[in-house]
């Protein structure tokens, strides 16, 4: 019996040695660190609505956004090219060869046919204010033939330049409307310059 008590006492000692011992001065082991917080999913989704595809500023998305802008620029350039072609063929150049400008009196008396909404260019209220110039208003009299009068032509060209002057034009013109106005201005100016040049040559020949 004494031997059994000794064995029990030894077993108790071994169990106490295996268990951690804490006294008044010893501190318990620190608790395990808390798990990391979950990622802010909602915020990421707000910043990048495309999820795994990234936001609008990602390189891949920017690539296709730039392609869309390029397509838009190409469409605008194609529209401007079409306007230029129509103005030259249907108004500015003399048929059938289309190698030289029409006489200035023809340009002045038909320029209203080129104002928007001609050739698919969007309409604008400003161009409705233009009062067309009749060809009969450019000659002295029908008895003297259809030769245009220089003073009347000069006033007509001045009227067109005043109407198409950049300071007089509305600020909300589209790119197509602005291009059309500039081209009409240039053709009218070149037509008037050619008229004055031919007149000086005729005056020199006549002596």
* pLDDT (tens digit per residue) in 14-71: 655 555 544 544 455 566 666 666 666 544 444 445 444 556 667 777 766 676 667 7
* pLDDT (tens digit per residue) in 114-164: 999 999 999 999 999 999 999 999 988 766 667 889 999 999 999 999 999
E strand residue ranges, the chain: none
pLDDT for 30 equals 60
Say how many CA atoms lie within 13 Å of 113 toward its Cβ: 13
Beta bridge partners of 93: 101
What pTM was computed for the model?
0.66
Using CA atoms, how far apart are residues 200 and 207, in angstroms rounded to an integer?
10
Q: What is the mean pLDDT of the chain?
A: 81
Residues 6+ apart with CB under 8 A from 103: 94, 148, 191, 195
Are 145 and 139 spatial neighbours (Cβ–Cβ below 8 Å)?
A: yes
* pLDDT (tens digit per residue) in 79-108: 999 999 999 999 999 999 999 999 999 999
């Amino acid at each position: 019996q004494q031997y059994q008590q000794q064995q029990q006492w030894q077993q108790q000692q071994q169990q106490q040695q295996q268990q951690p011992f804490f006294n008044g001065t010893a501190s318990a082991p620190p608790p395990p660190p808390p798990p990391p917080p979950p990622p802010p999913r909602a915020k990421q989704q707000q910043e990048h609505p495309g999820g795994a595809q990234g936001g609008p500023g990602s390189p891949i998305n920017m690539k296709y956004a730039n392609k869309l802008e390029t397509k838009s620029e190409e469409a605008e350039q194609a529209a401007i090219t079409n306007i230029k072609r129509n103005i030259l063929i249907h108004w500015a150049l003399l048929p059938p060869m289309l190698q030289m400008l029409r006489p200035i009196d023809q340009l002045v008396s038909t320029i209203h046919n080129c104002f928007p909404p001609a050739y698919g260019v969007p309409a604008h209220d400003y161009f409705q204010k233009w009062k067309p110039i009749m060809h009969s208003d450019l000659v002295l009299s029908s008895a003297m033939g259809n030769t245009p009068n220089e003073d009347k032509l000069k006033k007509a060209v001045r009227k067109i330049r005043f109407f198409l002057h950049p300071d007089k034009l509305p600020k909300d013109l589209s790119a197509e409307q602005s291009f059309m106005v500039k081209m009409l201005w240039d053709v009218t100016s070149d037509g008037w310059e050619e008229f004055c040049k031919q007149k000086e040559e005729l005056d020199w020949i006549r002596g």
